[in-house]
Structure 1
Amino acid sequence: MVRSLSRRGLLAGTAAAIAAPALAQSFPNRPITMVVPFAAGGSTDVVARIIAQKMSEGLGQQVVVENVAGAGGNVGAARVAKGEPDGYQILMGTVATHALNPLMLKRKPYDPATDFAPISLLAIVPNVLIVNPSLPAKTVPELIGLLKANPGKYNYASSGLGTPLHLSGELFKSLAKVEMQHIAYRGSGPALNDVVAGVVPIQFDNLPSASAFIQAGTLRALGVTTKERAASFPDVPTIAEALPGYETYTWNALFAPKGTPKEIVDRLNAEAVKAVKDPAVGERMKVFSAAVVGSTPEALAEHVRAEIAKWTPVVKEAGVSID
């Protein structure tokens, strides 16, 4: 009996070992859906369409982008988390879906660290600290000095409550030990218009959407939020140059549902990395100041853990929670 069971187990293990590579070799044999958990037209959607087009060439099957917007990205992310782990539905995730939203939501539709199979960190998009030119602060140290001399006097704008840009401001307040009142707008556009008009003097925004205002001189860029200066604005210092330890950014990464076979994840990773390393893709990404990465699945998993650890105290201190 023991011998029979052992032999049956050995045969089952052998069959599984043979089936896994065969599954990977036949993948994909139909189109793949890349879920973008936001509306069409935003930076995440643009990145997804650039990557999907290039991955389609390598995979020999079309990678179709589907926008599944709602609840700040949670609707689309939850759909992929609950999907079949076969590689045919993948998610273009962000700092919102895999760090901020899960920390702020009272009811959590998924666990960002355990409900997904990481594929690759694709790109990092800097945020930027901008001010109305009439504000008497031309550098980050001058702004910190101004805020400390006038606690609570100045407001800052962002594209909405609980967004990465709102929390970029909260992290700044925490590290600089200054006071500013947050003004939440319904999108970056209205916030930018009010900062240009001087209604609110300070804003944290994505660098791509603020670029035209900076170039026109209608807004002054004090610092980018990444560790390195942005190639598109090399003369703009990083905030970290004046405030060590400060770093925020918007990022895009691919995820599959938990349980997706390693061979399929590896195939998707190989094609995703090949896509972001393509020179033509790199040039298109530069248009909106995105720095391409192309990581391993393991590096993306560590990135998600680090982002959750970084943002947990910031969200707690800011007291942000969403029903």
Structure 2
Amino acid sequence: MDITRRAGFAAALLATPALAQGWPERPIRIIVAFPAGSVTDTLFRNLTEALSRELGQPVFVENRAGGNGVVGSIAARGAGNDGHTWLVLSVTNGALNPYTVRNLAYHPLQDFDQIGLVAEAPYMLVAPPDGARNLAELLERARARPNALTFSHGNSSSLIASAMLNRMAGVEMTAVPYRGGPEALTDVIAGRIDS
């Protein structure tokens, strides 16, 4: 069973007891705390048709990207607690934000009910077509030119992963922040960013 079918099946199972009680009474809004075109956005857009059929109500995705998931989280918190608005946020961002965002306007464990894990996605290190062909070559280039090479990050978890690579490998690459993964990847492919 592929990830999309497993996620749809899990959502259907979670919804079954609520269906007996008349839920949902109106469309379901899924707030994706990442930009359009991100892995998370694509996954949930692919699930909406199956979820709509299973729940008997329209299900739609609304992207609320920015601030490592803070923008989407605030929008979801303000929507009320009736089960008609869902928030999709990475576990990493949900766990890191209380420690990396000053004066966070919500508490992830008190303001939200966690439903479950939908999918897992690994981190990938990529380079432009004319860039480093493997990790060893990237690190060799970084050692030869401290702070001259750049790496993109679309959220705090990818920033932390890149910073860990810098520290563990003893290199210094410059972080370039992006609103999300699609924009970061676009600039890597275009050769504006080294990784």
Residue among 96, 99, 113 paired with 2:95: 99
Shift in Å at residue 142 of structure 1?
5.7
Within 5 Å, which residues of 2 pair with 1:167-182? 167-174=160-167, 176-182=168-174
Pairwise mapping of residues 152-301 of structure 1 onto structure 2 (< 5 A)? 152=146, 154-160=148-154, 162-174=155-167, 176-186=168-178, 187-188=183-184, 189-194=186-191, 200=193, 202-203=194-195
User: Are residue 55 (structure 1) and residue 82 (structure 2) matched?
Assistant: no
In the TM superposition, residue 60 of structure 1 has moved relative to its aligned partner by 1.5
CA distance in 2, matches of 1:194, 1:142: 16
**1:24-63 maps to which residues of 2 (within 5 A)?**
25-63=21-59
Q: What amino acid is aligned across from residue 62 of structure 2 in structure 1?
A: E
**SS of the residue 2:125 aligns to:** strand
Counterpart secondary structure, 1:25: coil
Pair member with larger Rg: 1
Q: Any gaps of 5 or more consecutive residues in structure 1?
A: 1-20, 204-323
Q: How many matched pairs?
A: 174
For 1:184, give the aligned amino acid. Answer: V
TM-score w.r.t. structure 2 length?
0.70
Q: Normalization by structure 1: what TM-score?
A: 0.45
Q: Tell me how far apart the structure 1 counterparts of residues 129 and 26 of structure 2 sit (CA, whole Å).
A: 53
**Which blocks of at least 5 consecutive residues in structure 2 are unaligned?**
1-16
> Of the two structures, which has the highest relative contact order with CA contacts closer than 8 Å and spacing of 6 or more?
1
Larger fraction in strand? 1
1:114 paired with 2:106, answer no
Distance 2:59 2:190 in 1: 36
Contact persistence 1:56–1:62 (CA under 8 A): yes
The answer to whether the 8 Å contact 2:153/2:177 transfers is: yes
Q: CA RMSD in A?
A: 3.1
Q: 1:41 to 1:149 in 2, by over 3 A?
A: closer
